[in-house]
Amino acid sequence: MTSRRDFLQIAAATAALVPTGWTRAFAQQSLVQDDLLAFEPMGNVTLVHLTDIHAQLVPVLFREPSTNLGVGEARGQVPHVTGRAYLDLFGIPGGSPLAYALTPEDYVALARGYGRMGGLDRIATVLDAIRAERGDKVLFLDGGDTWQNSYTSMLSKGQDMVDCMALLKPDAMTGHWEFTLGTDRVKEIVDGLGCPFLGQNVRDAEWNEPAFESTKMFERGGAKVAVIGQAFPYTPIANPRWLIPNWLFGIREEDVQASVDKARKDGAALVVLLSHNGFDVDRKLASRVKGIDVILTGHTHDALPQAVKVGQTLLIASGSHGKFLTRVDLDVRDGAVKGYRSKLIPIFSDVIASQKEMAAKIQAIRSPHEAMLKEELGRAEGLLYRRGNFNGTLDDMICDALLAEREAEIALSPGFRWGTTLLPGQSITREDVYNATAITYPAAYRMTMTGGRLKEVLEDVADNLFNADPYYQQGGDMVRVGGVAYAIDVARPAGSRVSDLTLLRTGKPIEAGTSYTVAGWASVNEGTEGPPIWDVVAAHVRRKGTVNPTPAQVTVRGA
Amino acid sequence: MISPLNRRQALALGTGAVLATTLSLRAAPALAAKNSTDEAIKAFTGGKEPVKGKVKLELPEIAENGNTVPMTVGVDAPMTKESFVEEVMIVADGNPNPGVIRFHFTPSSVPEANTRIRLAETQNVIAVARMNDGSVFSDVKQVKVTIGGCGG
């Protein structure tokens, strides 16, 4: 496959690198922008996919997961392959730029060498280059999770992202965290967005009528291209229903099929699903809905260097946090796709030039807050990261903060997949804290909960992650816990996965009938009270000075 | 202090209860129903085993709110005097009582109905349709009722 050859080119160019003894300058010397963008063009349509940037305007560190388990038919299949196995599967040399971008292998050393990834100004440069080459063949599509989860996006209610994305001129987008801005704000933005906000699976609750456009038809390279939008199906469950009380979601597989059929009837030669379903849901959808050529999949933050083919449908997974863009060239003739070539383009921020217009816009947005955001609260002793099915050291830090600052026995922290990474010895700034916590429902609550109830919560979230049928999954990671240890057998049925719950403070088993003091944040319930989580975490980091979080104690079986 | 997890508190009595895991589409759903679902179906069909097909349930895989779950049921029937669906019964095998609703049709009806139903916990919803010739058909869908709050 050509996409494989393309990245092997990059890999080969840097294969001589060894992870010890080289300097940052040396690491980057062997990487040049032209190599990252190199692509043998094909056909008459180019899709460019960006998704799940979580409002990160500037380059970030984001460590990919070491634990990302698949269950049922997805067991051992991509994207549930990590680390060394991932490198072997795709033939990526250890220590290479792609090894750094795509796996947690030797992460700290490689991060120090290859530096940050992403940045909308770098993404703008890549888009400019693709558009210069491919002109009116290009469709640029934003998979959502774009407007929220940084300080400036929270403060401006998504306006910073809307303004910056406008410079990139996307042709369409769909959403998930966008909806946490609430109905009125979403409507206000969508009305003036300048590109369609597509969501075939969102209905108004009163009359069950479409809340957004389902499909947008484009003409590219002489071919009719239909883009169907699929918003995150479980937004009102995973995020607060009260923020969007009148919108119903769901996968609505039959409606996807109806939208595809209509697009074909209207003459579409290429049908694209711009999806925020998550990878496993999209893989199942692709096996059941007929007539989709390409699914640009988002939500679960998977980055894959090759398209995954399910029947006649290509699945493209473009990662998160601005680390990647995927370019897909398609040869669309006589009403059908005759061939394709794809490439996951890694956005190495020290290699890809900054685009001036976007850089200026980002600077204007950030400069009033820069001093506050750069304020150092403390220092990370070890690596602080979030992504992974069961725990991340960054969440361990948040749980420690909840236990200490809210005087609780047990802490619960949501299994969000977004949030940036800090290297050992790095200072922890206010911005780092916001990058892990910036949401519109941040109250750090404190309550009592019985042991039985705690078990029920863990079981419930576990089933959202490990139900063998992807249509019953929600795509987040497991809720993070502090103050308790537990074991989980991911292969068991709902309600029977979690066992051996132990209160760490006493070393005794959690009793179903006993009440415990629990602190947490990101409750989906309206009226939840407590200080914003970022204040709780900031206070804790300040008090500690150097942060060395208590490691989570989760025993995993059945993987 | 409002509990962040209060949505299902009233339903939390059955903690640890084993959820029905079969998604079998066999006619008389061979489910370990916690209520008298099987009896209700038998009473409706006169003891006949329903055949999978003709009737189709549309329900979300995961309920956004267990107290009001949108449900549509449709039957593939010509709706002529000679051949039409007489009645559709909806039952839920995890509610305190299985009976949810019954729809009656005549040859002049459109054989489709929608409403909102209440589901106490994750369970199977079963539609059974009885045609005017006495033949019976069924469909089943599992709906998950969840606490939510950790996706993303």
CA distances from A106 to A116, A226, A552 (A): 15, 42, 21
- Pick the closest to residue A95 from A114, A117, A120, A71 (CA basis): A114
Q: Which chain A residues have a beta carbon less than 8 Å from that of B152?
A: 176-177, 238-239, 414-418, 475-476
Residue B15 lies in a domain: no
Residue of B nearest to A206 (CA): B70
Q: Print burial letters for B1-35: b (CB count within 10 Å at least 16), e (below 16).
A: eebbbebbeebbeeeeeebbbeeeeebbbebebbb
Q: What is the pLDDT of residue A208?
A: 87
Q: What is the pLDDT of residue B146?
A: 86
Q: Could you tell me if residue B134 is left (phi over 0), alpha (psi between -120 and 50 degrees) or otherwise beta? A: left
Q: Which of A456, A469, A529 to mutate to test the interface with B (most CBs of B within 10 A)?
A: A456
Residue A86, both tokens: 């991932």
Identify which of A395, A80, A278, A323 has the alpha carbon closest to the alpha carbon of residue B151.
Answer: A278
Residues of A in contact with B18 (CB under 8 A): 493, 495-496
The region of weakest confidence among A16-20, A158-162, A387-391 is: A16-20
Q: Judge whether B98 lies within some domain.
A: yes
What is the pLDDT of chain A when averaged over all its residues?
A: 94
Mean pLDDT confidence for A166-170: 98
Tokens of residue A61, six digits: 């560190």
Q: Are strands A480-482 and A410-413 parallel, antiparallel or unpaired?
A: antiparallel
Residue B8 lies in a domain: no
Q: Does A234 touch chain B (CB under 8 A)?
A: yes
Question: What is the SS3 assignment for B28?
Answer: coil
β-bridge mates for residue A138, sequence order:
A46
Show the domain range for B128.
26-145
Q: What is the mean pLDDT of residues A308-336?
A: 97
Helix (H, G, I), strand (E, B) or coil at A317: strand
Nearest CA in chain B to A415: B150
Q: What percent of chain A has pLDDT over 70?
A: 95
Partner-chain contact A495 B5, CB within 8 Å: no
| CATH number, domain with residue B32 | 2.60.40.2470
Please write the tens of the pLDDT for every residue from A227-237. Answer: 999 999 999 99
* B10 inside domain: no
Cβ contact (<8 Å) for A238 and B1?
Answer: no
Nearest residue in chain B measured CA to CA from A476: B151
Domain ranges, ordered by start, for chain A: 31-60+116-365, 374-557
Chain B residues whose C-beta is within 8 A of a chain A C-beta are: 1-7, 9, 12, 15-19, 21, 23, 58, 60-62, 64-65, 70, 122, 142, 144, 146-152
Question: How many whole angstroms separate alpha carbon A523 and alpha carbon B5?
Answer: 8
The Cα–Cα gap between A172 and A245 comes to 25
Cross-chain residue pair B15–A464, CB shorter than 8 Å:
no
Residues facing B73 on adjacent strands:
B57, B113
- Nearest CB to A456 within list B4, B12, B60: B12
Cβ distance of A475 and B151 shorter than 8 Å: yes
- At A341-376, the pLDDT tens digits run 999 999 999 999 999 999 999 999 999 999 999 999
pTM of the predicted structure, to 2 decimals = 0.91
Bridge partners (DSSP) of residue B112 are: B74
Separation CA B137–CA B65 (nearest Å): 28
The tally of domains found in chain B comes to: 1
A534 CA: distance to closest CA in chain B (Å):
18
State the Cα torsion A9-A11-A15-A21 to the nearest 10°: 140
The residue-averaged pLDDT of A437-463 equals: 96
Of the listed ranges A85-99, A161-175, A429-443, B11-25, the one predicted with least confidence = B11-25
Say if residues A442 and A528 touch (Cβ distance below 8 Å): no
Which chain A residue has its CA at the smallest distance from B65's CA?
A237
Residue range A416-426: mean pLDDT, rounded: 98
- pLDDT score, position B149: 54
Q: What is the pLDDT along chain B (152 residues), one digit of tens a residue?
A: 334 444 333 232 222 222 222 233 333 334 456 689 999 999 999 999 999 999 999 999 999 999 999 999 999 999 999 999 999 999 999 999 999 999 999 999 999 999 999 999 999 999 999 999 999 999 999 999 987 555 44
pLDDT of amino acid A559:
86
Q: Within a domain: residue B110?
A: yes
Q: Which homologous superfamily is A31-60+116-365 in?
A: Metallo-dependent phosphatases (3.60.21.10)
Q: Is A209 exposed, middle or buried (0-12, 13-18, 19+ CB in 10 A)?
A: exposed
Q: Which class would CATH give A374-557?
A: alpha beta
Token pair of A534 as six digits: 């970022």
